[in-house]
Amino acid sequence: MESDQSGRGRTEVPLGTWGADRPRARAWDRLDAPMPRPVFRPGPRSAMVFPLVVLVAVLPGLAALKAWDLTPPGPLWGLRGLAVLDGLVLDQVPAADAIRPIGEKAAYQTVAFQPPLYAWLEAVLFWLDAARDPMASVLPSYVAGALAVTLVYLHGRLWRGAGLGLTAAILVGFNQNLLLRMQEATPATLALCGVLAVLLTYGWHERLSVEALRPPIWAGPISTTMAGGLAMGLALLSLGGLALIVVPIILLHRYYLHAGQSGFPAARARSWPSRFWGWLAGRGEPGRLHVLAAVAIAAIVALPWFVLMIRWHGWQAIAALRVPPERLLSDSGRSLPGRLIELAPVSLPLGLYGAVRAIRAALVDESESRESVGGAFWVIWLVVAALAPAAWPRGPQSAFDLVLLVPLSLLAAQTIADLVNRRIPVRSLIWLAPATAISTVWWFSGDLRGAVDDIVHGRADAATALGLHLALDLVVVSVVLIRAVDRWARRDDRQRRVLAAFLVIVLAVSAFDGLKEVVFRHRIDGDLLDLRTMIRRRNRDTPFQVVAVLSPAGMVPASLPVAGDSSPRGARAFREEPSPGGRLRFILRTALPHLPQRDLTDVSQLFDLPDGQRLVILAGNAQPLAGTDRFRLGLEAIHPGRSGILDAYATVRQRSKSSSTRPKGP
């Protein structure tokens, strides 16, 4: 060490030493100046991931919104939103008095007895749009679906980081079940948001407790308790009893955390109520008071509406809540394996493998790390959501599927993250890849499902044997191929290529499986929107004064379910609603909001309509309007019903007094 004239020490560097072995000479070291600060403070890595999550949440839903669906009971929810706009804010059941067909009236009553949050959101959007675009009825479902994808990302980020959250958001955002619900005017996605928000506030409390962190002011116990209670109340106002699914999830997870403490064996000697309150109070955050406060807030938000409905309609309102209208349109004969495959055919093996690894980690890990606590929480969530239809067999199956989809996707994303980080050996793909291929082929191939069903019911034939033979060949070929790839990928660089190819294929097939369903599934939807455009254009030139819909009595079944009817007869009749059904009434209410619809069942009733500009729509081809009748009524065709229905006619001239009544005789 030598000193220069200023006395400052100087390090001798041997000649010919460069690169990492030579210390860098920085100006602020020589001048003893402070290190310069950057102009902008660098953000965390999660800030770079969140914009991608927003795109995943918004873009697939926008594609679904372009093909939004008018499948019942969606139009009936739209009619309920319009009833709120007409002044029936708390109770929309009286609006059924204006509906003449008994079947359509019963179907509307079934919807009107459901919790009102979705109808309130529809009314706000209809109020903001002077034209009352029918798409406003489905916008709450779309926005709630996009928000649900964002909440899934926050769940993954809470326990395992932003990368896992992004992967889970991709699996959920491109899932066909979520996209189909975002196309329909139903509160399923809205209820899902409430459930995810409640579980997120609980998970935030538990993570702070596990890591012994001091929460920020905005995420303290009081604010998160209020947020959880408010989310619980809104979930109750969305789809009723579905929100209660969070109760067993939270209680079982608190039992798991409390059972791991050293004092738990001594607690077994206490009475059952003492153990229950011990599990509830748990580790202090959220303690007993926080849970009770959240329940009280939820009751304050949701209970008044239920009390008023019971006061006005008696126990008929409670009976209607047992069978949501979405339940009457779903298939109740699915087993749990078939339900899981239909829910996530590509990511199902990854999710089940992640559940097994999470259970093993929860049993082995004594320190209760963040990963093991979060994995156990997802497994409990998965089990409760899978068993919920058994506890409530007449509940909303589509909403149950969405609640089950989230933990399954989180566990699948956990498996993907462990594969990327090489925590799982590449050899596990020997059975993971064939299982993924079999699950995907089972979902895409209706012939294979039919062949297995034929064998189960004793209807096997040569075609069945051929289909099963091809399926067995696929399994054998996939296993042999994967073993050959495993022998080839001995080097680390080849293993990385195999993993990358497998994960890219899984994500790509998942996205394709969801987006292929984003189409107009019913041609009548397009015909109805074209009819609405034609009506508004004609009404702008010559305003209508009378609106009449001719639907023969034979088309309207008289056995549609009334509120609370959960019998198979009621469900079958609800599916057999005539094609226009609530769709046509909803479209007419949005196109001509101030003109009541007159429901007719015979052509002769058209001659009793008052004079003026009339709009006549044939909701069926059982009674075609003859040319002589059109001439006497002074009508001209303005919309051809390409679906065999929805032929529309408008007045071109006033009727003469001699033709005010239909002539008798042939």
Higher-confidence residue of 332 and 219: namely: 219
Does residue 626 belong to any structural domain of this protein? yes
Residue 662: pLDDT band with limits 50, 70, 90: very low
Clarify whether residues 652 and 590 are in a common domain.
Answer: yes
Instruction: Indicate whether 204 belongs to any domain.
Output: yes
Range of the structural domain that residue 480 is part of: 431-515
Contacts of 431-437 spanning 24+ positions with Cβ under 8 A: 432/349, 432/350, 432/353, 433/478, 433/482, 433/502, 434/475, 434/478, 434/479, 434/482, 435/349, 436/346, 436/348, 436/349, 436/350, 436/506, 437/474, 437/478
CA distances from 215 to 43, 159, 204, 211, 491 (A): 20, 16, 9, 11, 46
Domain count, the chain: 3
Q: What is the spatial distance between Cα 529 and Cα 605, in angstroms, rounded to a whole number?
A: 27
The CA distance from 575 to 228, in Å, is 37
**Shared domain check, 496 and 610:** no
Sheet strands side by side (includes 647-651): 597-600, 546-550, 614-618, 647-651, 635-639
Tell me 579's DSSP state. Answer: S
Give the pLDDT band of residue 642 (cuts 50, 70, 90). low
pLDDT, average across residues 478-494: 71
pLDDT tens-digit map of 333-379: 567 887 888 888 888 999 999 999 999 888 887 677 788 888 999 99
Let me know whether 507 and 618 are in one domain.
Answer: no
Pick the more confident residue, 269 or 430.
Answer: 430
Higher-scoring residue by pLDDT: 662, 137: 137
Adjacent-strand bridge partners of 639: 648
pLDDT for 284? 43
Residue at 115 is within a domain? no
What does pLDDT average to over the chain? 76
How confident is the model at residue 320, as a pLDDT?
Answer: 79
Domain boundary pick from 396, 424, 452? 424
Query: Which of 246-260, 373-387, 576-590 has the lowest average pLDDT?
Result: 576-590
State mean pLDDT over 292-315.
Answer: 89
Residue 33 lies in a domain: no
Q: Are residues 455 and 376 in the same domain?
A: no
Question: What is the structure's pLDDT at 147?
Answer: 95
In terms of domains, do 539 and 572 share one? yes
- pLDDT number for residue 557: 37
23 or 547, greater pLDDT = 547
Is 210 within the bounds of a domain? yes
Do residue 416 and residue 439 come from a single domain? Answer: no
Radius of gyration of the chain (CA): 31
Same domain, 175 and 276: yes
Mean pLDDT of 424-430: 77
Query: Is pLDDT above 50 for 43?
Result: yes
Q: How does pLDDT run across 149-181, given as a tens digit for each residue?
A: 999 999 999 988 888 999 999 999 999 889 888
Residue 98 lies in a domain: no
Confirm whether 384 is domain-assigned.
Answer: yes
419 with 445, same domain: the answer is: no
Q: Which residue has the tokens 């009770």?
A: 292
Q: Which pLDDT score, from 0 to 100, does residue 206 have?
A: 79
pLDDT for the residue 263: 40
Q: Which of 424, 446, 475 is the last residue of a domain?
A: 424
pLDDT at 325 over 90: no
187/270 same-domain check: yes
Dihedral (CA of 410, 415, 416, 422) sign: positive
pTM: 0.81
Which of 88-92, 379-383, 427-431 comes out lowest in average pLDDT?
427-431
Q: Please tell me the distance from the alpha carbon of residue 304 to that of residue 258, in angstroms, as a whole number.
A: 35
Tokens matching residue 363: 């049993």
Kindly state whether residue 565 falls inside one of the protein's structural domains.
Answer: yes
- The kind and range of the H/E element at 614 are strand 614-618
Residues 302 and 280 in one domain: yes
Is there a single domain that holds both residue 336 and residue 411? yes
Predicted local distance difference test score (pLDDT) of residue 575: 40
Q: Which of 218-222, 450-454, 596-600 has the highest mean pLDDT?
A: 596-600
Q: Which of 496, 515, 534 is the last residue of a domain?
A: 515
* Cα–Cα distance, 149 to 55 (Å, whole number): 10
